């Protein structure tokens, strides 16, 4: 009788161990899958974010460059410059410094242009001063130079 119990217990044990044999593989696979999924999900999220943020930054960067390069070909005075700025950035306006004969356009702190003009013109009827004779467009901020050109005296908008 005693022997019978032992043999039953042993047989149960044998099946138990067989079950363990199959389960242990599943455990390791699950652990590995969890690690893989956590690591790759983190990488996917982080790298997608970098890709997207840089692509978004390019949108503003290229428009600022486009203003600078088009200005060198078409702009004669600050009225022209204002129209060009509005074409790419309808919500942002540059400001003239009559004293320095410059116009500063800042789409963001990283996207700044400083145009230099040759002379000041005054509308005889309204007395509003503007700048004419574009000489150069400074893009040092776009080139990554930390010190941004500053139009010291942010004066009248000039035209509209």
Partner 1 sequence: MDRKKMKILVVVDIVILVALIIILMTLKGGYEEQAKRTANEQESAYLEQNTQVLVEQWRSIDQYSMAWKLVHTVLSGAKTESAFNTSLAAIEADKDARFKQVSHVYTSAGINDAVQNGIFQKAGLAEGSILLKNDKNSKEVACGKDCVIKFEFAKGKLKGLDYSALVQFNLANKLKIEKPGEYHFE
Residue 142 has which token pair? 């776009």
143 binds partner 1 (CB under 8 A): yes
81-140 residues near partner 1, rule: CB under 8 A: 108-111, 136-137, 139
* CB 71 within 8 Å of CB 88: no
- Give the binding range for partner 1 (CB under 8 A) out of 67-75, 77-85, 92-100, 123-131: 67-75
DSSP 69: H
Nearest residue (CB) to partner 1, 98 versus 134: 134
Nearest residue (CB) to partner 1, 65 versus 157: 65
Min separation Cβ 58 and partner 1, Å: 6
147 binds partner 1 (CB under 8 A): no
74 binds partner 1 (CB under 8 A): no
Min separation Cβ 112 and partner 1, Å: 11
**If 0-12 CB within 10 Å is exposed, 13-18 middle and 19+ buried, where does residue 114 land?**
buried
* CB 103 within 8 Å of CB 115: yes
Residue identified by tokens 């079950």 is 19
- Give the binding range for partner 1 (CB under 8 A) out of 66-74, 98-106, 118-126, 147-155: 66-74
d(CA 125, CA 37): 71
* CB 122 within 8 Å of CB 131: no
54 binds partner 1 (CB under 8 A): yes
Written as one string, the DSSP assignment of 97-134 is: ETTTTEEEEEEETTEEEEEEEEEEEE-TTT--EEEEEE
Binding site for partner 1 (CB under 8 A): 3-4, 6-7, 10-11, 13-14, 17-18, 20-21, 24-25, 28-29, 31-33, 35-37, 39-41, 43-44, 47-48, 50-63, 65-66, 68-69, 72-73, 108-111, 136-137, 139, 141-145
């Amino acid at each position: 009788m005693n022997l019978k119990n032992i043999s039953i217990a042993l047989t149960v044990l044998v099946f138990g161990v067989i079950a363990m044999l199959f389960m242990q593989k599943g455990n390791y696979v699950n652990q590995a899958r969890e690690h893989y999924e956590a690591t790759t999900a983190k990488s996917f999220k982080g790298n997608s974010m970098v890709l997207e943020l840089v692509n978004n930054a390019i949108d503003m960067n290229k428009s600022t460059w486009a203003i600078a390069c088009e200005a060198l070909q078409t702009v004669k005075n600050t009225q022209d410059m204002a129209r060009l700025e509005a074409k790419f950035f309808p919500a942002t306006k540059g400001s003239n410094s009559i004293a320095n004969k410059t116009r500063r356009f800042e789409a963001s702190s990283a996207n700044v242009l400083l145009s230099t003009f040759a002379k000041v013109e005054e509308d005889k009827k309204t007395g509003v001063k503007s700048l004419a004779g574009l000489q150069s467009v400074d893009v040092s901020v776009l080139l990554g130079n930390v010190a941004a050109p500053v139009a010291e005296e942010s004066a009248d908008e000039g035209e509209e």
